[in-house]
Amino acid sequence: MSANANRGVVYQGGGKVSVESLDYPTLALGNRKCEHGVILKVVSTNICGSDQHMVRGRTTAPEGLVLGHEITGLVVEAGRDVEFIKVGDIVSVPFNIACGRCRSCKEGKTGICLNVNPARPGAAYGYVDMGGWTGGQTDYVMVPYADFNLLKFPDADQAMEKIRDLTLLSDIFPTGFHGCVTAGVGPGSTVYIAGAGPVGLAAAVSAQLLGAACVIVGDMIPERLKQAGSFGCETIDLRQEGSMEDKVEVILGDREVDCFVDCVGFEAHGCGCDHGREQPATVLNSAMALTRAGGQIGIPGLYVTEDPGAEDEAAKIGALSMRFGLGWAKSHSLHTGQCPVMKYHRPLMQAILFGRVNIADAVNVQVISLEEAPQGYADFDGGAAKKFVIDPHSMVRNGRAA
């Protein structure tokens, strides 16, 4: 492949993705130069459950969208105004694109930057309604506002030794951690994690890192529950009959938990007693039933304003039937929205580099080539208990950035 060749994973509609040739990125935003940006040679880029929502046709994502918002890269070109990031640096890219100048960014709310998406607050690479930015499941990608956005790893060789873990700093590790922080997880907490996909597993590890006494993970896929159990979580198989309160009581001797984290989102299905049919509000309603009075509920799981594949008309516009009165009566705190990755990625990097957490093992990272991405999407959609990490230039496999 020539130095300026570029390929990427492209959404083709109808549950299909393909690897296509793309233009090599330039330091430009529309018709103007982007002197605050850099071009990255992609070291690793991950398939996310949020990508899968689009590929399933559960959003209004257009065909031709270049996917990928979880990016780690090697800087190969920097704009004139980039002062602190240099060519040759290995960096983690927060999935939120943020300008660093607006009111939200100055308050640390980088998930809702006011300047990077004309449609609404907040932007992301390769994602529907998130500003039209090109995704990073590619060989090369342009990243704006580089000095503000990028997390530089302090030592390139050390970074490559830990790259299977560090690749998760762009999204799912901070997102899972954020879910736990906003759910109030701390030393001695009892925690229920809804969903044992990669974000749910990252949340479970985060709860342990924060000192939880007991972490319970619920899912309907046995392989994912086995993965959660592999690092000390209690598990609940949601295919089984019986109330959630009864199932939690068997584990805790109590019918409620201190903290609840929703890592499922809008494609939720009812548990076994509901015959597994889609019920987009079921996790939120379980959260209010299972969380103790005065407890907190973190909701990093994705909810959308438009869901063309929903089973009822209300859900198609994000209107869900919630027992909000129960949450009000129990004085619950609910926290929603994108994780502001920059709030967490540096301390979580330190936890990885100093051996405090093995996040790659917990989420079961599997490294694949860019050409294998379509199969990775298919396997992930089938419920594989894996986090697929795309390695476009074989740098992860070889253990060196070159």
CA distance 10 to 8: 6
Indicate the residue type of 363.
Answer: V
Per-residue pLDDT tens digits for 63-80: 999 999 999 999 999 999
Full-model pTM: 0.95
Q: How confident is the model at residue 278 (pLDDT cuts 50, 70, 90)?
A: confident
Phi, psi at residue 29, to the nearest 5°? -120, 100
What percentage of residues in the chain have a pLDDT greater than 70? 97
Quote the pLDDT of residue 382.
92
Topology classification of domain 173-336: Rossmann fold (3.40.50)
CA distance 365 to 390: 10
Helix axes 172-182, 198-209, angle to 10 degrees: 60
- Is-contact 96 111, C-beta < 8 A? yes
With 0-12 / 13-18 / 19 or more C-beta atoms within 10 angstroms meaning exposed / middle / buried, residue 355 is exposed
Quote the pLDDT of residue 274.
52
Residues of the chain with CATH 3.90.180.10: 7-171+340-398
Mean of the pLDDT values across residues 120-148? Answer: 96
CA distance 53 to 71: 19
Helix (H) or strand (E) holding 362: helix 359-363
CA dihedral (66, 116, 387, 57) positive or negative: negative
**The pLDDT of residue 276 is above 80:** no
Nearest Cα residue to 210 out of 280, 245, 261, 255: 261
Quote the pLDDT of residue 110.
97
Q: How far out from the chain centre does Cα 100 lie?
A: 21
Q: Which CATH superfamily is domain 7-171+340-398 in?
A: Medium-chain alcohol dehydrogenases, catalytic domain (3.90.180.10)
Residues of the chain with CATH 3.40.50.720: 173-336
Q: How confident is the model at residue 3 (pLDDT cuts 50, 70, 90)?
A: low
